[in-house]
Amino acid sequence: MRLTKKTFVVSMMVLALTLLLVSSGMAENVKLTFWSWRTEDVEAYEQFISEFNQIHPHIEIEFIPYRNTEYNTILATSLQGGAGPDIIHLRTYGGMEPLAQAGYLVPLDDKIEALQDFRSDVLLGATLREDGRVYGVPVVEQTVLVLYNKAIFRDLGVEEPQTWDELVAIAAKAKAAGYIPFANGSKEGWTLETFFGAVAPTFYGGGSFFDEITSGQVDFTDSRFRSAIEKMLELRPYLPDDYVGVGYTDMQMMFAQEMAAMFLAGSYEFGTFAQMNPDLEIGVFIVPNLEANQDKYFSMYVDASYGMNANTKHPEEVLEFLKWTATKEFGTLYANTLQVLSVVPGIEISDPLLQKIVSLLGDHATSYLMLTAFRYGTPSGSTLLQNELQGVFGDTITLDQAIENIQTGLESWYEPFNK
Amino acid sequence: MAKRWAQKHIYLFFLLPGLLIYVLFMVYPLTSAIGYSLYSWDGMVKGVFQGLENFKVVLTQNPYNIRFWSAFRHNWIFFGITFLLQSTLGLFFATLFTREKKGYNLLQAAYFAPYTLSMVVVGFLWLLLLNPTWGPFNKGLRLIGLGHHAKSWLGQTGTALYSIVFVNAWRWLGFPILVFKAGLQGISDEYYEAAKVDGANAWQAFIRVTLPLVLPNIGMVTILTFIWIFNTFDLVFIMQGSSGNPYYSTDLLGTFFYRTAFGDSTTGGEPGQTGIASAIAVLMFLIISFVSYFGIRSLRKSEVEY
């Protein structure tokens, strides 16, 4: 067949049309699902996604949050069944590891360059320990310390305490003035781990104890661990009446309604309090040591990361989104929208409270003990600490028994304790 | 010949859909749980076959054995008190409601109403009612001068389990009442007339006539209660979390299984232990099958006819 000019033109047009169709087919809207446990952040995520769509209009993302306490189960069973979302809001440390281990996640460290600039203790939250690879883009870090009501402190005529005795004196003064000194209860065990995270690090000695215990050089029968819990128990007279029956929402209400002067809690509460009571003036401080010149510490942990389902049909689009979440633009947007500490390096935080925490991070932060190091097996250090502390605070068991139970429970699976 | 066989056995074909559903949703999960319990697991990854090792761990190794036996005990307490309540209070109200007096129908409906509520709703409702700070239950106690008895019902290890059992009974009691009443109504008046002729008083008539004839109903409800309570999970999970707060005092086999399989929900996630959790599930199944089997057998023996 001789190729005439006419047939050539026609065939070229056909080719051009085909290419056009194919390329427009590629740019066709791709719909991704994004599962999370952050039911309270739906509006914020809609905002993030619409910002993302300014750059990538063809990637549609549906944000689907599940109840916090049910999320892990729902996610794990879906992934086991070969389904699940395209983008996964991942827990961290031991909460993430089994998913990576089972091959449900895609390693990201070779795909997202920006991850190299993240702090190494931050990346640890999304790392599979056995292969050292990063399976999520870390999103947010949380801190646990003392939140206080500035107005109540003014009313009492007190300043942020510099020593442990000053702290106890403030609590006593608050109680005498009719306030609840600390809005902490023990009905829900996990709030006792928060209590521990705020008070204990100063007394067990922060990072050096952390390194010794995670490597198995010492165990939980160490006197530093014991004296840290004894300090927690010294605050018992300053907890609400019937604190054994006081649950988390009660605690939040007591602090938000300005009935309580202080709250041993996480930086993740700020957003909630801003909504519950916009007039509440919150300050933060680290639990001081016996003397003002002694070291003091508070707990830090990475709270979440974003990962990619290995089974996704749209890996490229998911990667586009994940890359975007590692940018300063996203970090700044995230931190200022939700009033939390984004882990993206070099972002600008406008909130003065968070600014203060950022300034304390370098010298005083230490990894949140049970959450970051002892949640790789069952019963986890958190489960044990929470329940044993509940036993001690409810006068069901002695501190000695509690410590023994924590140690025995962890020995059942934590390798370095069995060397 | 072949045709006749086909005609005669065509019913087998119609059994298929039901059998398929049964196999898919009953036989398969059950056997796979038994299978899982015989392997070692690394998170969600299946390891090597190790026989009864997981069962040994659950029954003998600290801390699993402590949690298992404590949950086992709590299940029996839960069942025991519920059984006592339903066979006394339940039977009492059922007897009362068989007398057709004005207003009894309304009362019966009122007693049955909580049973129609979802467990989640019941749990949440009682969490509010029993709140030590602003809950109406303690406020009520203070109002009637029993303020010294007001306490944190769900926060103390001594009272939490009993409070949960009470909340459950509050919801559950309508069901036994309904079944007992149906049983009582099935007893022919002739027996009572005969007893009267023999000179029996009301109490003797109840012991000699009513009780033996209503015993099958009591037995049936007891077995159902047992199965239900040994599988229960939701009420404790809603009110006291997956580790049975405070200090495992409301921990049941159901919550222990859940926590071991999926990790403690309040800790924001930790790996579950599929093998050990499956072993717990199999043990639960064995306990329930064993007790139910002997329960039903003795139930058959106890049936009387006059």
Q: Is residue A175 one of the residues assigned to a domain?
A: yes
Render pLDDT for A28-68 as a digit per residue (tens, 0 to 9).
789 999 999 999 899 999 999 999 999 999 999 999 999 88
pLDDT number for residue A318: 96
**Helix ranges (DSSP H) in A177-247:** 189-204, 206-214, 223-234
CA neighbor of B253 nearest in space, from B273, B272, B234, B280:
B280
Residues near B168 by beta carbon (within 8 Å), at least 6 away in sequence: B78, B82, B232, B235
3-state secondary structure of A65: strand
Q: Is residue A313 one of the residues assigned to a domain?
A: yes
How many C-beta atoms lie closer than 10 Å to residue A210's C-beta?
20
Say if residue A151 is in the same domain as residue A224: yes
Render pLDDT for B127-182 as a digit per residue (tens, 0 to 9).
999 998 888 999 999 899 888 888 889 999 999 999 999 999 999 999 999 999 99
pLDDT number for residue A149: 97
Residue A406 clears pLDDT 60, i.e. is over it: yes
Say if residue A56 is in the same domain as residue A153: no
Q: Is residue A130 one of the residues assigned to a domain?
A: yes
End residue of a domain, out of A310, A329, A353: A353
Question: In which element (H, E) is residue A173 found?
Answer: helix A164-176
Query: Tokens 């909130």 correspond to what residue?
Result: A351
Which amino acid does the sequence have at A1? M
Q: Annotate A245-277 with three-state secondary structure.
A: HCCHHHHHHHHHCCCEEEEEEEHHHHHHHHHHC
Q: How far is B270 from chain A (nearest CA, A)?
A: 4
From residue A106, alpha-carbon distances to A2, A62, A277, A356 in Å are 52, 20, 41, 36
Which residue from B130, B259, B266 is facing A190, i.e. has the nearest CB? B266
CA neighbor of A378 nearest in space, from B257, B70, B32:
B257
Say if residue A277 is in the same domain as residue A377: yes
Q: How far apart are CA A361 and CA A350, in angstroms?
A: 17
Render pLDDT for A137-155 as a digit per residue (tens, 0 to 9).
999 999 999 999 999 999 9
Say if residue A277 is in the same domain as residue A309: no
CA neighbor of A404 nearest in space, from A225, A196, A235, A192:
A225
CATH code of A55's domain: 3.40.190.10
Q: Is residue A2 one of the residues assigned to a domain?
A: no
Return the DSSP state at B53: H
CA neighbor of A69 nearest in space, from A45, A27, A39:
A39
Q: How far apart are CA B166 and CA B160, in angstroms?
A: 10
A8 or A309, which is more confident: A309
Residue A158 clears pLDDT 90, i.e. is over it: yes
Q: How far apart are CA A191 and CA A266, in angstroms?
A: 10
Say if residue A237 is in the same domain as residue A155: yes
Contact A54, A24 (CB under 8 A): no
Kindly report each contact of residues A353-359 with a partner whose C-beta sits within 8 Å and lies 24 or more positions away, as own/partner. Answer: A353/A267, A353/A270, A353/A282, A353/A283, A353/A284, A354/A267, A354/A270, A356/A284, A357/A143, A357/A145, A357/A267, A357/A284
pLDDT number for residue A1: 46
Say if residue A156 is in the same domain as residue A130: no
Q: Is residue A335 one of the residues assigned to a domain?
A: yes
pLDDT number for residue B303: 78
Whether B243 and A386 lie within 8 Å, measured CB to CB: yes
Lookup: tokens for A352:
């003065």
Helix pair B119-129, B160-172: axis angle to 10 deg: 130
- Find the farthest-apart pair of alpha carbons in chain B and give their distance in angstroms, rounded: 86
Lookup: tokens for B121:
């709703």
Say if residue A186 is in the same domain as residue A227: yes
Whether A72 and B44 lie within 8 Å, measured CB to CB: no
Kindly report each contact of residues B280-285 with a partner whose C-beta sits within 8 Å and lies 24 or more positions away, as own/partner. Answer: B280/B58, B280/B68, B280/B253, B280/B256, B281/B33, B281/B37, B281/B257, B282/B33, B282/B34, B282/B37, B282/B55, B283/B55, B283/B58, B283/B59, B283/B68, B283/B253, B284/B230, B284/B231, B284/B253, B284/B254, B284/B257, B285/B30, B285/B33
Say if residue A40 is in the same domain as residue A159: no
**Candidates B62, B133, B257, B262, partner chain A, best to mutate (most A CBs within 10 A):** B133
Q: Is residue A4 one of the residues assigned to a domain?
A: no
Instruction: Residue count of chain B, please give it.
Output: 306
Please state, for a pLDDT cut of 70, what percent of chain A lies above it: 94
pLDDT band at A15 (very low <50, low <70, confident <90, very high): low
Q: Which domain holds residue A374?
A: 142-300+364-418
Kindly list the structural domains of chain B, giving each domain's residue range(s) and its CATH number in brackets, ordered by start.
53-302 (1.10.3720.10)
pLDDT band at A357 (very low <50, low <70, confident <90, very high): very high
Say if residue A287 is in the same domain as residue A329: no
Which residue from A94, A189, A245 is facing B154, i.e. has the nearest CB? A245
Say if residue A199 is in the same domain as residue A161: yes
Render pLDDT for A114-123 as a digit per residue (tens, 0 to 9).
999 998 778 9
Pairing mode, strands A30-36 and A260-266: unpaired
pLDDT number for residue A25: 47
Q: How far is A382 from chain B (nearest CA, A)?
A: 7
pLDDT number for residue A98: 86
Whether B131 and A250 lie within 8 Å, measured CB to CB: yes
3-state secondary structure of A282: strand
pLDDT number for residue A26: 52
Render pLDDT for A229-244 as a digit per residue (tens, 0 to 9).
999 999 999 999 999 9
What is the mean pLDDT for each group of 10 consecutive residues in chain B (306 residues)?
79 88 89 91 81 93 92 97 94 89 88 93 94 89 88 91 96 94 91 90 90 91 95 94 90 93 66 87 95 91 77
Q: How far is B30 from chain A (nearest CA, A)?
A: 17
**Any idea which of A11-20, A104-113, A370-379, B196-205 has the lowest mean pLDDT?**
A11-20
Say if residue A122 is in the same domain as residue A228: no
Query: Tokens 């309040």 correspond to what residue?
Result: B266
Residues of B with CB under 8 A from a CB of A: 42-45, 61-64, 67, 127, 130-133, 151-157, 241-243, 245-249, 259-260, 262-273, 276
Q: How far apart are the first and last CA of chain B?
A: 50
Say if residue A210 is in the same domain as residue A295: yes
Pairing mode, strands A180-182 and A87-90: unpaired
Which residue from A80, A188, A242 is facing B245, i.e. has the nearest CB? A188
Question: In which element (H, E) is residue A306 found?
Answer: strand A298-308
State how many domains chain A has.
2
Whether A382 and B44 lie within 8 Å, measured CB to CB: no
For residues A215-251, b (16+ Cβ closer than 10 Å) or e, as one string? eeebbbebebbbebbebbeebeebbbebbbbbbbebb
- Tell me the DSSP string of A108-165: -TTT-GGGGGS-HHHHGGGB-TTT--B-SEEEEEEEEEEEEEHHHHHHHT----SSHH
pLDDT number for residue B231: 93
From residue A40, alpha-carbon distances to A141, A149, B282 in Å are 17, 24, 38
Q: How far is A28 from chain B (nearest CA, A)?
A: 36
CA neighbor of A286 nearest in space, from A360, A225, A231:
A360
Q: How far apart are CA A177 and CA B7, in angstroms?
A: 90
Whether B243 and A70 lie within 8 Å, measured CB to CB: no
Q: Is residue A18 one of the residues assigned to a domain?
A: no
pLDDT number for residue A347: 85
Which residue from A187, A242, A377 is facing B271, i.e. has the nearest CB? A377
B11 or A26, which is more confident: B11
A-chain residue closest to B265, CA distance: A69
Q: How far apart are CA B75 and CA B67, in angstroms?
A: 12
Q: Is residue A121 one of the residues assigned to a domain?
A: yes
Lookup: tokens for B159:
């009272």
Q: How far apart are CA A76 and CA B231, in angstroms?
A: 22
